[in-house]
Chain A
């Protein structure tokens, strides 16, 4: 996908399976562009795409009747009650009027806004508005919903609730979800599959458990011993000299040692600690994280 000289998405070859798929990447990675192509609102400069068995570029209207969309933008018609907003969009997506009315009410109850459904959108909090976006996305019984940064602006408690709702929608109502996020942690929490983008290029894709499931070294925490102030530095230097990638949180006695064989890495850590006469508080297996995929791609 190219805008003038700017290539927004490059050589993307992606297969998205059923369940919750996280479209992950930093701001500007191409997530929203990808979503707009999936919705058929932009045609790719080259290449082809199939969504729910339809070509979005040629059968966009048909496809969009089956897809719910929750935009990143948090702007709504302020005076409109939530129920009218959800009902209207359900009608526009093809529901008969009475059906749309009932489904709007049901969707708002499902996202926890049943009691608030007649409140004007302008009086709602950010958390409630995010729920309204989710309600309107599911009200017309879509086969797939696209959610652009659905936890944007939410506090930790609201974020947990929103992620649980998204998970519930996929697991209980069998609606596939493609959610974009720049927060790797939330994608790791609820997604079955991941499509990771960086600067418009595919970094990784596949089942989350496959991508992050293998043990990748160890996490070590040393004790701050007064008479051994250089112990931490000596241990890290020794491990680096042994060829390991060591990642330390600044000012912390905790560091990660990345390696393919966790047992071998642990043996090297043990030797380095003994040599530096340091003391270990904790040593645990390190699980590979999505962040590693991005760091690996950048190196």
Chain B
């Protein structure tokens, strides 16, 4: 006869320490990250993030494969480290258009926002958790390819020479990626927060970011507005941070000063953050 018993655990008091606001933020950020990447969800939710990640990493993997096969690509062929931010541009835009709506719009629709506010989270610590989750997942797409390229290139003994140089390049890559992620996160979250429908939010993000980019470039290239107006292109101005950190300039922003590029990045971030604050100040809690 088995000794197995079914025990009634009943209700137990919790004597341990609660994790407080920090723990609540960690939990919401991790939950949101899993949701964005489709982890713990049905297969159909994983398809899109996987496709975007694959598309984002294709250029870096392709260049690494070529360099493994052919050796040093030479100055002519070898891309600059910062150019990989631009190579993953399409994947980044698609990802941006879907990540922010997934992160915050769903919570407004299904009542989770109100539920979260009944926990140690305030509306601002909730928003901060979402920002962390979106920044983290976006950095996979934005930072992943250039960092992979740097590591792969280093393993072939073709990367920066010396400890200091290597960390200098890595540090500038991380900082450039962080700037791109911050600008895109702020704008996409700000725009997404204005609606409680995910499809509308995605369309609005593309409309604002890609639309502003196209209009700005048409105005400068066709209507011959001053080059400085390019800072109104949210996609371009954020990406321009990367060459500036490496002491370089892209062709489009060649005559635009670094201070103006920084002001453009700050302006778009403030625009997105302003929308986010405006919206979340007004959202009903209970």
Chain A residues close to B by CB (< 8 Å): 32, 35-36, 39, 41-42, 60-62, 64-65, 67, 69, 71, 73, 75-79, 84, 88-89, 91-96, 99, 103, 106, 110, 136, 138, 140-141, 146, 148, 172-173
Contact = CB atoms under 8 A, between A and B. Distances in A.
Contacts of B65: none
Contacts of B78: none
Given A77-B112, A89-B115, A173 B20 contact: no
A73 B113 CA distance: 12
Given A32-B286, A41-B285, A106-B11, A96 B16 contact: yes
B179 interface: no
B121 A61 contact: yes
B201 to A, nearest CB: 17
B286 A141 contact: no
A96 B117 CA distance: 19
B120 interface: yes
Contacts of B31: 88
B27 A75 contact: no
Contact of A39 (B28, B41, B118, B125): B118
Contacts of B42: 79
5 contacts: A77-B112, A79-B42, A89-B119, A99-B14, A148-B286
A77 B35 CA distance: 12
Interface in B251-286: 285-286
Nearest to B15: A141
Nearest to A38: B286
Interface string B1-32: 00000000111111010111101100110010
A91 B111 contact: no
B21 A61 contact: yes
B110 interface: yes
Contacts of A65: 18, 20, 119-120
A41 B20 contact: no
Nearest to B25: A92
B106 interface: yes
A79 B45 CA distance: 11
Contacts of A76: 110-111
Contacts of B128: none
Interface in B30-58: 31, 40-42
Nearest to B23: A94
B119 A42 contact: no
6 cross-chain pairs, A with B, having the tightest CB-CB distances, nearest first: A94-B18, A69-B118, A141-B14, A75-B111, A61-B120, A41-B285
Given A61-B20, A92-B24, A93-B119, A71 B13 contact: no
In this complex, the member of B27, B112, B119 whose beta carbon has the largest number of chain A beta carbons within 10 angstroms is B119
Contacts of A36: 285-286
Contact of A88 (B21, B27, B114): B27
Contacts of A148: 286
B236 to A, nearest CB: 37
B111 A71 contact: yes
B122 interface: yes
A140 B20 CA distance: 12
A141 B13 contact: yes
Interface in B198-241: none
